[in-house]
Structure 1
Amino acid sequence: MKNRKNLPVAALRAFEAAARHGTLTQAAEELAVTHGAISRHVSHLEAVIGTPLFEGARNRPKLTPEGRVFGFALTNAFDQIDDALRLISRGDDSILDVACLSTFAIRWLVPRLHDFTARYPRYDVRLATDDRSPRSPVDVQIVVLEPGTAIPEDCTLLFEEQLGLVVAPSAVPGFAPGQTDTVRLDALPRLETRTRPHVWHEWSRLAADSRTTPPRQSRTFDHYHLTIEAALSGLGVAIAPWHLVAGDVASGRLVAPFGFHMSEHRYGVRVARKGRRKTQHFIEWLKAAIAEFPEPTC
């Protein structure tokens, strides 16, 4: 449809709501119109595009395959419109969209967010934890900078990562902090992470660990927070960044017999639009929280 003046916007909204809810009744409630109005809009849209979007009994219609595809596309389109309106409107200063990796959110950011919200109660922090680049625009994105990459112009460096081998004391009875009984540790499964498959090789290089004996067993998890939980449960030995396990090491739930070594990964923060008060407040708070974070003592 090349002439956008003829786009049946009301019909598109009605069908999108009906497709998303799966019923015309719920769509009517959301849009504050009658069931009959939704039905007429859907019928009009079907006539315009020449394709049935619903099928089956009139009291319990089901989406056709074409209807499912079109409904999904419309929902994405309306979501993008909502995001764009929120970004350009003057009333979005109370909403702060933050994106970061899921493990960083779970094990570092979320436990500290109460402090930010207490300091700045006017902001509604909305956290996106996709392990890929965010699909929708965000105000602040906490990123991991790969080794050898330059710091982007729109990025501020936060801290450098430190890696350590960690294990639950319960996995090696009698094993105490400060011990380096590699034979006993080698008998445990290695806990690996799909999102960072080479971390054991990184650790061997950083710690000058020349052991080449393959592990008797390895267990792989989809995300780092699952790998760390497995280590806490005594399922094996993991390589983990200090900022993700500092509390567990301090409490004795994990021990790091070989200490922590500076890796080549760095964490930074990027902002979509510079100079906005809400992003400045968040980044200032973030830097202060990181400055107060303890350094490893082992």
Structure 2
Amino acid sequence: MGMKLPPIAAIRAFEAAARYQSFTRAAEELGMTQAAVSYQIKLLEDRIGVALFVREPRQVTLTAAGRKLSPKVTEALDLLGSAFVEVARKPELHLVISTLPTVASTWLVPRLPSFQAANPEIRIKLHTSNDSIDFAREDVDVMIRGSDSVLPEHEVFSLFPMEYAPVCTADYRERHAIAHPADLLKVRRFGAQSWWARWLTGAGVENGSDDRRMDLVIGVQTIDVGLTLQGQGVAMVMPIFFADELNSGRLIRPFQHIGRDERSYSLVYPKSRRQSRKIRLFRDWVVAEAEATRSAFAAIPV
């Protein structure tokens, strides 16, 4: 059977203090005094015979034992919380997804009805943002972000490698006589400056990485494509998100060269919540959808 479980109040105090590395902030979250949090953690340490925190004048830090225990305790409490939510009378579970605006509008939103049809008990709340999410402080279950937003305590599933290329209308290419990659330096361009610099250099354009002149930096590929479809310039985007426009000929890729980044767009959530049923259902679905999208896109003749 092992040792008897310590009091839940002591476990909760430790989990919150470990998360914040602060007895004060843990006390605020739990509605306790700082002295009560300190007392509960001392009880826990006495019970297991191991120090969990190093107490310094202005802060507390986890000991090696505390660091080992912390993620397991968080996971156990999350699992306990999920269990009560799933058997509570309320039949609906809310899944809060935070995603990049481009991924939401071009790819995720059109596909979500199929997830909802298969899982009618789960209600989706979708937030869009380019900023990274702090799961400890925000009411978000999963996020889709660039893999550079990932921390060691996150579980990560790559969805789309960052592969980008310029797109424009066929008419725009003709009007501006775009025949060589260097010709792009003379036209209006939209999109991430870092992607442009890397793509131009990779396409053999001298001084491509020194080019700093960008007409408009918005940070949302769908808006950049909207301007491009109006014949206002050339956008640097991930072509996989605009397969319909490329298939129909409304957009073209004037050059075959693809820019590649070591990052990817990934599904991310805390390792402590990996047992959550709603997260597992969404993870399995979204990973399969992304794989199907990549396969379909690879089959399109360029």
Answer yes or no: is 1:103 the counterpart of 2:102. yes
Q: Report the Cα distance in structure 2 between the residues aligned to 1:170 and 1:110, rounded to whole angstroms.
A: 30
User: Relative to structure 1, is the Cα distance of residues 228 and 86 closer, same or farther in structure 2, using a 3 angstrom cutoff?
Assistant: farther
Cα deviation for residue 191 of structure 1 reads: 1.6
TM value normalised by structure 2? 0.59
Q: 1:105-163, CA deviations, whole angstroms, 9 ceiling, x for partnerless residues?
A: 1111112112212222221111011221346221111121139x887652222231211
Answer yes or no: is 1:112 the counterpart of 2:111. yes
Residue of structure 2 equivalent to 1:229: 226
Q: 1:70-120, CA deviations, whole angstroms, 9 ceiling, x for partnerless residues?
A: xxxxxxxxxxxxxxx999744476211111111211111112112212222
User: Relative to structure 1, is the Cα distance of residues 215 and 173 closer, same or farther in structure 2, using a 3 angstrom cutoff?
Assistant: farther
SS of the equivalent of 2:243 reads: helix
Give 1 or 2 for the bigger CA radius of gyration.
1
1:172 and 1:184 in contact (8 A); partners too: no
Cα deviation for residue 251 of structure 1 reads: 1.5
Q: Report the Cα distance in structure 1 between the residues aligned to 2:131 and 2:83, rounded to whole angstroms.
A: 21
User: Which runs of structure 2 are paired with 1:153-192 in the superposition (5 Å)?
Assistant: 153-173=154-174, 180-182=179-181, 185-192=184-191
Q: 1:41-91, CA deviations, whole angstroms, 9 ceiling, x for partnerless residues?
A: xxxxxxxxxxxxxxxxxxxxxxxxxxxxxxxxxxxxxxxxxxxx9997444
User: Relative to structure 1, is the Cα distance of residues 123 and 297 closer, same or farther in structure 2, using a 3 angstrom cutoff?
Assistant: same
Q: State the AA in 2 paired with 1:108.
A: W
Residue of structure 2 equivalent to 1:209: 205
Q: Report the Cα distance in structure 2 between the residues aligned to 1:101 and 1:87, rounded to whole angstroms.
A: 30
Residue of structure 2 equivalent to 1:200: 196
2:154 and 2:269 in contact (8 A); partners too: no
SS of the equivalent of 2:126 reads: strand
User: Which runs of structure 2 are paired with 1:48-197 in the superposition (5 Å)?
Assistant: 89-90=85-86, 91=88, 94-134=93-133, 136-146=138-148, 153-173=154-174, 180-182=179-181, 185-192=184-191, 196-197=192-193
Unaligned 5+ segments in structure 1 are: 6-84
Unaligned 5+ segments in structure 2 are: 1-27, 33-80
Q: State the AA in 1 paired with 2:232.
A: L
Q: 1:152-177, CA deviations, whole angstroms, 9 ceiling, x for partnerless residues?
A: 6522222312111111123234899x
Q: State the AA in 1 paired with 2:125.
A: R
Answer yes or no: is 1:243 the counterpart of 2:244. no
SS of the equivalent of 2:262 reads: strand
Q: Which protein has the bigger helix share?
A: 2
Q: Report the Cα distance in structure 1 between the residues aligned to 2:142 and 2:238, rounded to whole angstroms.
A: 22
Residue of structure 2 equivalent to 1:290: 290
Q: 1:208-234, CA deviations, whole angstroms, 9 ceiling, x for partnerless residues?
A: 433659698723335332112111221
Aligned length in residues: 211
Cα deviation for residue 188 of structure 1 reads: 2.4
Residue of structure 1 equivalent to 2:260: 262
Cα deviation for residue 290 of structure 1 reads: 1.0
User: Relative to structure 1, is the Cα distance of residues 265 and 180 closer, same or farther in structure 2, using a 3 angstrom cutoff?
Assistant: farther
Cα deviation for residue 255 of structure 1 reads: 0.6
Question: RMSD of aligned C-alpha atoms?
Answer: 3.4
Q: Report the Cα distance in structure 2 between the residues aligned to 1:143 and 1:258, rounded to whole angstroms.
A: 27
Q: Report the Cα distance in structure 1 between the residues aligned to 2:234 and 2:83, rounded to whole angstroms.
A: 45
1:165 and 1:239 in contact (8 A); partners too: yes
Q: State the AA in 1 paired with 2:290.
A: I
2:162 and 2:263 in contact (8 A); partners too: yes
SS of the equivalent of 1:127 reads: strand
Q: Report the Cα distance in structure 1 between the residues aligned to 2:83 and 2:203, rounded to whole angstroms.
A: 46
SS of the equivalent of 1:266 reads: strand
